[in-house]
Amino acid sequence: MATPTLKQLARRHPTHREKSEYWELLQALMDGGSKLTPEIKQKILANPDRRPDGVIKERIKVARYFNKISPIANRFVSQLFAAPLQFEGSKDKFWEETFFPGGALLPQTDDDGKATFDAFLKAAILQALAQQKAIAQIDTAIATESINKKQQKSAREDEPYVLLVPRSQLWDWETDRNGFKFAKLHRFSWMRDTWDSDPVAMHDFTIYQRRPDGSIVASRYVIKSKGKGEDFDKGIESNLERLDEKNIEIASVNGLEERPIFNVRGQFKFPIVTLTLPPALWLADQLFDPQCSHYNQTASLEWGLVSTNYAMPTIESEDIEDFNSRNDKFGNGYFIHLDPSQKESIGWTERPGASFSTSMEYRSTVEQDIDKTVQQIAISAQDAAGAASGETLRQAKKPEEILLTLYGSMVKDLAKGVLDVAAIAHDEAVNWIVEGMSDFDRTDLQGEATEYGAIAQVGIPSEAFTKELQKAFAREVAKQKEFDSATLKKILEEIESAKPEPTEGEADPTVAGSPPEQDAPDPDSDEAIAEDALNDPELLKSLNL
């Protein structure tokens, strides 16, 4: 295969060209904190009087950003994952011992990036709430010398892992009714071989292509170019579109060029799985305008207050030269002499108080608008319980539960999609089943225990009914006590395999030699009277027996 050109690798999908900066901006707004750099703040700060950059930078220094999106998103996620998901499929130990506890890689972490599959799903739905789409890439190690299954296994080429890909890294794609026809991922990094070497800009491309027969091939290329020192010092990405083909090097990585991947007995899976929210459920996009408005009102208030506190004095005098002669020093530790005959006075350059009041009132209105935008779907059971009860409480919780169910179904679809692809990569054809995220009614455990106990006292003669009742209660406890999925799965298996306890008055069939219990005889019966008489020594003696 011919090595691709710079133009081919640099090509981006029109949607990516149009929206990638907006996706990154939304992610920064939801992350907040250090992710909201001065450059990003400047993008959303209004400049109606066209002040120069120097003034705007000073305004940014004092403008505080109060994140209104992240708390709402985190509330949704905490309620979604209050109960662990349950995965049923392969019996291979790889999943329980390797994939679920550490088979995920998350971007922008300060360690090796490894995470649990649950942590991956949480990060994925948070990314979708910010950028509308979460992108999962399923990959394996590359064993370049492997020629058979045994060698692949020894090189751990059959041990898949999943990566969470920022949406802006999916540069180009095409889809049809069967999913992706191709996808091109782009990653950037700086590389230095030695401490004193010049930095080299590395543009890394991973490309997946579906062939007409359904098979999937993978290619990986890297573009190396001598980077600009100022770009490296600032930690910014080298602009690929400004590179000259004569001054770059394009090479494949580990010889990965159109290599067939992920095939089990003719069953193929594309290694990119996505979760896409409908526009109405794209939280950050829905709250973008009110969040920006809130920031601008805060920025104007902060700047106005600081400017007022450091206000410049103004002097009114009929003879300014005479005033200066009497007050050649003006500042802390000095006095000012005002001459009444010259009608002298001192004022301050400060904004009228009415503008502050208007700005604060409007900011409060914006906060209320943000709350109103999400109150039907973001109100928690705890918040509702404090304000309502009975039927009113159930109605208040209904919109939230509906939304969480919608989000939950999409998270489960993503999880199943990832597991189905990972199974193929593990040389298994498995139809995974993902259960959970369907009950978001956080009930009182004491009341639940009383209810379950009352049902059990009815004594319904059904082993299946009893076991399902026990499983239902176990799931409710696991949800509220936040058991992990492995622990809950073990609990449910133990309940299923446990032998039923004997009912009252019934012999335990597991105890050997246990005689069946008999009804006690009636003490007034003839047989009982006769037996008492025969066991009475005095009566037998009087009868000479």
Q: How many other CB atoms are found less than 10 A from the CB of residue 507?
A: 11
pLDDT digits (tens, 9 = 90+) for 144-157: 554 556 656 655 66
Query: Predicted confidence band at 315 (pLDDT cuts at 50, 70, 90)?
Result: low
Q: At what angle do helices 117-131 and 14-31 cross, to 10 degrees?
A: 110
pLDDT score of 156: 63
* Bridge partner list, 216: 210, 261
Whether residue 284 has pLDDT greater than 60: yes
Going 194 to 197 to 199 to 205, the CA torsion angle's sign is negative
Percentage of residues in the chain having pLDDT higher than 70: 66
Whether residue 26 has pLDDT greater than 90: yes
Query: Predicted confidence band at 167 (pLDDT cuts at 50, 70, 90)?
Result: very high
Distance CA 444, CA 129 (A): 30
pLDDT score of 421: 93
Whether residue 85 has pLDDT greater than 60: yes
- Pairing of β 259-261 and β 216-226: antiparallel
Query: Predicted confidence band at 437 (pLDDT cuts at 50, 70, 90)?
Result: confident
pLDDT score of 416: 95
Of the candidates 382, 341, 326, 470, the residue with the CA atom closest to the CA atom of residue 79: 382
The average confidence (pLDDT) of the chain is 77
pLDDT score of 380: 37
pLDDT score of 89: 87
Tell which wins on pLDDT, 9 or 263. 9
Tell which wins on pLDDT, 303 or 155. 303
Which amino acid belongs to residue 26? L
Whether residue 540 has pLDDT greater than 70: no
Of the ranges 113-122, 317-326, 437-446, the best mean pLDDT one: 113-122
pLDDT digits (tens, 9 = 90+) for 217-236: 999 999 988 656 566 766 66
pLDDT score of 411: 95
pLDDT digits (tens, 9 = 90+) for 481-522: 767 777 878 888 888 888 776 555 555 444 444 455 555 555
